[in-house]
Structure 1
């Protein structure tokens, strides 16, 4: 129905403007009629002359254009058929004009002797060509816009699928690291093992229900980080110092889930766990007017390697940042005894991805 009204609107507007032009063009022949009669005579003429224009326009739009775009038949054949239809439309136009418009629409004028008079045939070509050309141009424009919309939709779906995969990859990666922690405590027959299992259960509950959402409040992400840090404190006890500074100006600010956890995991897996002496993890998180600043620094052993190598978690979060937040900076500093990450994100400028998660 929408398409019908769009087409009707196009031909309605075209007919009105063509009628006005026809009144001006035919004024010398219609001077004996009133202005209102001139209007109806001109409208009558345009209506009957629209027949070949409409036939040609719809043939070009829905036969020629579709066949060329879908590569049906050779290009030469399609162009030849379009040219033949143009010729037939011009002939029909001249027949209608010569044997109907002149003797009937303009009242009792004698038909022209030459059906294909050069000047009048050229006028017919221009008249038909303008109407059909505009219609085809609009059709091609709509096809191009629809193609761009489909391309954008496919790109969004591709990014959404990739983002879902990255998030699903984070879960087993986190579980693997945490189970290693529990295994280490169990081997020591630590009394803290039950508490660790309970905290792990709480974290997994978060991942099961919250990580499937597109966005969660930043306060929930921080709460999950606090739980993870508590878990690590149990494992490393006195030889680890953890500080977590937070300053938020809006607790309702939304953020993509599990975006900060990989940085914290990395600090323990590739820093603290490989350090033989007292170590620390310092974290600072601030939010001001939608701008998130996250800094994490941890001690590490001097292994003589200054080159930064991404773990699964860091590579994963880099890609998530690229997909979700165009305006962000991520700087990694690998010093002999410390490893530092500095992240800034404009949380108000995020990608609008249509995510489809299982169970939603």
Structure 2
């Protein structure tokens, strides 16, 4: 229905302007006829002349262009068909003028000219080319815009699929680490084993359902970190954890499970590999949608070798690229300590 309305509007507008041109063009030859009658004659002439133009235009729009886009015929064959259609249209156009418009509508006011008079043929070419050119241009523009929209949607779907893959890759990574913790506690026959399983079930419930959302509140993200830290603390006796937070608006949104891999790494490559007293310091600040996350942990070796991203860090980097326009991630490997500093403008969420 919308397409019919658009096409009808196009041809009505064209008929109006063609009627005005015909009225002005024929005015001197019809000066003895009242202007309202002149306008009516011009309108009837425009309606008669539009028939061959419409036929040619719709042939190009719905046959020739379709053949080119779908590859139904080779391009040179399509061009030959269009040329043949144009020739037929010009002949039809001249027949309408010579045998109907001039003798019937204008009652032979115009000087009689042969069917293939050079000026008449040139006028037919320009008249037909003008309206069909506009219609074809609009059609090609619409096709191009539709193609861009499809491309945009495909890119969006691809990025969403990649983001989902990254999150699904992070989830089992977290699960394996936690199962290792339970295994260690079970071997010690620890009284905390049941509590760890209960906390793990809560985290898994969030991972299965909460992490499927595009964004969660910063309060929910910090609750996940609290639960994970509580799980890990049961394993280590000589570990000191400082978790400082300053949040001006806990309802601010953040991509789910974005901070968890950094905390996992601090335990896995810090506390779990340390034979002596160790610490993990976490600082989270959120002011007016700008999040600063810092985490530092001790490590056994004193090397300052180049940092190699593991699965967790690599996934976080890619998620940041996909989800935020404004962020900064810095990793520092110092003698005895490893630290991460992450800045995110949460208002720059890209909405993949």
Length-normalised TM-score, structure 2: 0.96
Tell me the secondary structure at the aligned position of residue 351 of structure 1: coil
Q: For residues 131-170 of structure 1, what are the structure 2 equivalents within 5 Å?
A: 131-170=131-170
SS in 2 for 1:113: coil
Shift of 1:204: 1.1
Aligned to 1:340: 339
CA distance in 1, matches of 2:75, 2:161: 38
Contact residue 182 and residue 197 of structure 2 kept, 8 A: yes
Aligned residues: 352
Q: Deviations over 1:332-360 (max 9, x none)?
A: 1122222111112222222333xxxxxxx
Cα 1:35–1:276, aligned 2, differ >3 Å: closer, same or farther? farther
CA distance, structure 2, for counterparts of residue 161 and residue 265 of structure 1: 24
Partner residue in 2 for 1:356: none
Summarize deviations over 1:45-97 as a string: whole Å, max 9, x none. 11111111111111111111111111111111110000111111111111111
* 44-53 vs 341-350, greater mean Cα deviation: 341-350
Structure 2 partner of 1:250 = 249
Match of 2:45 in 1: 45
Q: Which residue of 1 aligns with 2:219?
A: 219
Alignment of 1:13-92 (within 5 A): 13-92=13-92
Any stretches of 5+ residues in structure 2 without a counterpart? none
Residues 115, 191 of structure 1: alpha-carbon distance in 2 compared, 3 angstrom cutoff? same
Aligned counterparts of 2:55 and 2:302: Cα–Cα separation in 1 = 79
2:210 is matched with 210
Of residues 44-53 and 20-29 in structure 1, the stretch that sits farther from structure 2 once superposed is 20-29
In the alignment, is the contact (CA less than 8 A) between 2:199 and 2:231 conserved in 1?
yes
- Which runs of 5 or more structure 1 residues have no equivalent in the other structure? 354-360
Q: Deviations over 1:171-217 (max 9, x none)?
A: 11111001111111222222222221221111111112211112111
Change (3 A) 1:106 1:277: same
Equivalent pair of 2:302/2:334 in contact (CA under 8 Å): no
Give yes or no for the alignment of 1:269 onto 2:281.
Answer: no
- After superposition, the C-alpha distances for 1:307-331 in whole angstroms (9 at most, x for unaligned) are 1111111111111111111222212
Instruction: Show the counterpart of 1:10.
Output: 10
- Determine the structure 2 residue equivalent to 1:315: 314
Is the contact between residue 218 and residue 250 of structure 2 (CA under 8 Å) also seen in structure 1?
yes
The 8 Å contact of residues 171 and 207 in structure 1, kept in 2 or not, is answered as yes
Question: Partners in 2 of 1:245 and 1:193 — Cα distance?
Answer: 27
Question: What residue in structure 2 maps to residue 115 of structure 1?
Answer: 115
Describe the SS at the equivalent of 2:222: helix
TM-aligned CA deviation for residue 110 of structure 1:
6.1
TM (norm. structure 1) is 0.94
| Greater CA drift, 22-31 or 72-81 | 22-31
Instruction: State the alpha-carbon separation in 1 of the partners of residues 63 and 193 from structure 2.
Output: 73
Which structure ranks higher in relative contact order (CA pairs < 8 Å, sequence separation ≥ 6)? Answer: 1
Aligned-residue offset at 1:31: 2.0
Aligned to 1:351: 350
Inter-CA distance 349–39: structure 2 relative to 1 (3 Å threshold): farther
What CA distance in whole angstroms lies between the structure 2 residues aligned with 1:41 and 1:332? 82
Partner Cα distance (2:25, 2:115) in 1: 20
Provide the secondary structure at the position in 2 that maps to 1:345. Answer: strand
Q: Deviations over 1:205-257 (max 9, x none)?
A: 111221111211111111111111111222113x1111122122222211111
Equivalent residue, structure 2, for 1:198: 198
Quick check: 2:219–2:251 contact (8 Å CA) kept in 1?
yes
Q: What is the aligned partner in structure 2 of residue 128 from structure 1?
A: 128
User: Offset of 1:304 from its aligned partner?
Assistant: 3.0
For residues 115 and 123 of structure 1, the distance between their equivalents in structure 2, rounded to whole angstroms, comes to 12
Q: Distance in 2 between matches of 1:346 and 1:51?
A: 60
**Range with bigger deviation, 10-19 or 129-138:** 10-19
**Is the CA contact 1:178–1:200 (under 8 Å) kept in the aligned structure 2?**
yes
SS of the counterpart of 1:165?
Answer: helix
SS of 2:166 mapped into structure 1: helix
RMSD: 1.5
8 Å contact kept, 1:306–1:336: no
Cα distance between partner residues in 1 of 2:185 and 2:254: 33
Instruction: Work out the CA distance in 2 between the residues paired with 1:187 and 1:68.
Output: 71
SS at match of 1:27: helix
